[in-house]
Each structure stands twice: as C-alpha cells, then as structure tokens.
Structure 1
Amino acid sequence: MYAVFKTGGKQYRAAKGDRLKIEKLEAAEGENVEFNEVLLVGKGGKVKVGTPLVSGSKVKGKVIVQAKDRKIDVIKFRRRQNYRRTYGHRQWFTLVEITGITGMPRKPAAAATAAEE
C-alpha cells in the first residue's frame, strides 16, 4: 500500500517502512506525526485519487532525526568591479519513518454482496 501526501509545499510518495527527508516539522525526535493532506492512495492494482484530497485517509510516521542538510554555497559578484561575496546556507530537514497508511476501503463483506443480488 502506498500514498502520495503533501507537506511543506511538496508532494511525497510513501509506503510503510519508508524513510523520507521532508521539510522541517515542529516535532521532537521520537514523536509520532500524522499527515492529513493525502492526495492519492493505492494498493495493488487499485488507486483512489482525491478531489483534491482523499477523505478519511492519513499517513502516520515517526520522527527519526531533526538536522541540517548539506551546505549550499552562494556567490554574488559584479563584473569588473572586484566585488565578490560568498556565503552558505544549510536548510533544516526532518527524517520521518512511515509507520502506517489508512484510507483505502476494504473489500465488501460476502454478506453485503449477497444482499445486493
């Protein structure tokens, strides 16, 4: 079972047991988090697409670590002026392990299908 959810302005595809590096969340290490903005849920050959969200579905995860990403070097310069400025930026991120996905309807019971006939 997999899901596509939205957090931090980005979309992520996740399955149970995946570890995702996402934009920083306000959660402590070891804390459980829940993502409610689920756009798509799939299981086997069946796919449930939301309009725009899949109602009643959630992606649950556990925060593994809060850390800074690698440094991005930024260089500014003006030609022929001997003007150069260099600085770096390190973006915070959260590493989340997906513990569960809910929201895909189960197959109808045998009694329900017999009642329809």
Structure 2
Amino acid sequence: MYAIVEIAGQQFKVEKGRFIYTHRLAGETNAELVFDKVLLVDNGGAVSVGAPTVAGATVKCTIIEHLKGEKVIVFKKKRRKGYQKQNGHRQSLTKIQIDEIIAA
C-alpha cells in the first residue's frame, strides 16, 4: 500500500515504515503529524485518485529529527570585469517516518 501526499508544497510517494526528508516542518522531535492532502492511494491494486484529494484519506507520521542538507556552493563571475562572488547554502530539512496510511 502506498500513497501520494503533498507535504510542504511537494509531492511524495509514501509507504508505511519509510523515511522521508522534507523541507523544515514545525514541531518537536517525536511529535505526531497528520497529513490530509492525499492525492492518490493504492491499496493492493485498487487505486483511488482524488479530485483534488481523496476524501477521508490521511497519513500519520512521526518527526525523527531536524537536520541540514549538504552544502551547495553558488559561484557568480563576470568575465573580464574582475567580479567574483561565492556563496554557500545548506537547506533545513526534517526527517519523518511514515507510521500509517488510512484510506477511507
């Protein structure tokens, strides 16, 4: 059984017991989260597609930890002008575990 869920503006394919890295979510570690924007549910071959969401379907998750992603280097240069600028960025992420998929 799997579902397609919208979490923090992005769509993820989730299955029970899997870990997902999303943009930083509000909440403490070990907090329970419930997402109700379920776009598709596949229950052993029986597929329900929402318009836009599946009615009564929810996904329960637990926040495992808050962390930062790998560093991305941004380098800008204009040739023959002596202009160079280097900047780094690390995205704030949240690791969540999918506990249960409820399909009505």
Give me the TM-score of the superposition, normalised by structure 1.
0.86
RMSD: 0.8
CA-to-aligned-CA distance 1:60-114 (integer Å, 9 cap, x gap) = 000001011000100111110111110100110110000000014xxxxxxxxxx
Give me the TM-score of the superposition, normalised by structure 2.
0.96
Map 1:23-102 to 2 at 5 A: 23-102=23-102
Amino acid aligned to 1:30:
N
Q: Distance in 2 between matches of 1:31 and 1:66?
A: 12
Q: Distance in 2 between matches of 1:33 and 1:62?
A: 6
- Gaps in structure 2 of 5+ consecutive residues: none
- Partner-residue secondary structure (3-state), 1:42: strand
Q: How many residues align?
A: 104
- Gaps in structure 1 of 5+ consecutive residues: 105-117
Displacement over 6 Å in runs of 4+: none
Amino acid aligned to 2:103:
G
Following superposition, the deviation at residue 8 of structure 1 comes to 1.6
Q: Distance in 2 between matches of 1:93 and 1:35?
A: 17
Q: Percent identity?
A: 37
Query: Higher strand fraction: Structure 1 or Structure 2?
Result: 2
